[in-house]
Amino acid sequence: MGGVSAAAVIAVTRDPFAVAAAGLAGAALAAAVRALSGDAPAALVAAVLAPLLVVASFAEHHLVHVTPLLANAAIAWTIVELARTSTAPLVALLPAIIAAVLEPAAVALVPIAGTRLVTAPWNRPKWAIAVPVAGGLAVMLAIIAAGASDGPLGAIGLRWFGPAHSIGAPVLAHQVGDALGPLAAVAAIAGLALVAKLRLAELAVVSCAIGALLVDLRAGSTGGATLAIAGLCAALAIGRFGATIRLPSIQAVAGSTAAMMLLVPPAWTVILR
């Protein structure tokens, strides 16, 4: 799926860095779906759907650029590492930091990955307890910088978040619905409800979804993090829907049919340009 995602964006951009970033994002999103939903046939269909849906959404909204693609690749790889049992929890911290630097909506991943450092079964160093504390301070910095209009914090907010064009929640809900389309929006909401669990990987998804919406409220438009998390959640919903069918072959057919219903609208929009 990484290769397919990279090949798909060649139709949109010839930037080799953007193509490589799309490949990383596609591979990471597919791996995240597998990590959260298992190996059932419907889950495999969902793992194919997630990167294609996100790449098509990015292309539709002119977001096929290095920074948003790398940010969402880092978000997805953090989710993957948090979902699996590991005796090397530092592996999850690196993509979490990269995601937080590139995308403020993902800043909560740092304290979540820091919590893994403290709770994982490994030879924990003494400094590990400082990581979730530092992550919490980073979240506070993001909140304050987002609301600052001048001074050093305002400069950080402008550099990190971009210009502010605040809108209300009803306007944002309308924008997100238009950006995703009705079917994908319903599937994303259902998928988000499915991952509302007290496990670190699921908490990472929910925190990024909340952070993405808050960033969009400030920016006044739907961003790449919202589209990526929505695509991931929609794919998880499709996987869970297909998994309710007992026959594996029917699972794949039902999942593929539902996936095509979500994928065709954004892909068709891009093709017609």
152 has a pLDDT exceeding 80? yes
Confidence tier at 120 by pLDDT (50, 70, 90): confident
Rg (CA), the chain: 18
DSSP single-letter state for residue 63? -
Q: Which pLDDT score, from 0 to 100, does residue 89 have? A: 82
What gap in Å lies between CA 140 and CA 210, rounded to an integer? 15
The residue-averaged pLDDT of 69-95 equals 90
pLDDT in tens, 199-250: 899 999 999 999 999 999 999 999 999 999 999 999 998 888 887 877 777 8
CA distances from 137 to 92, 145, 188, 189, 250 (A): 19, 12, 30, 30, 48
Residues 6+ apart with CB under 8 A from 135: 107, 108, 110, 111, 112, 113, 114
77 has a pLDDT exceeding 90? yes
85 has a pLDDT exceeding 90? no
113 has a pLDDT exceeding 80? yes
Number of structural domains found in the chain: 1
108 has a pLDDT exceeding 70? yes
Q: Which two tokens stand for residue 91?
A: 């592996």
CA-closest candidate to residue 163, choices 219, 244, 92, 96: 219
Share of the chain above pLDDT 70, in %: 99
Q: Which pLDDT score, from 0 to 100, does residue 149 have? A: 83
272 has a pLDDT exceeding 80? no
Q: Which pLDDT score, from 0 to 100, does residue 6 have? A: 93
pLDDT in tens, 16-56: 999 999 999 999 999 999 999 877 788 888 888 899 999 99
- For 37, the domain range is 2-272
Confidence tier at 273 by pLDDT (50, 70, 90): low
Q: Which pLDDT score, from 0 to 100, does residue 131 have? A: 92
Mean pLDDT rounded to a whole number for the chain: 89
The residue-averaged pLDDT of 73-98 equals 90
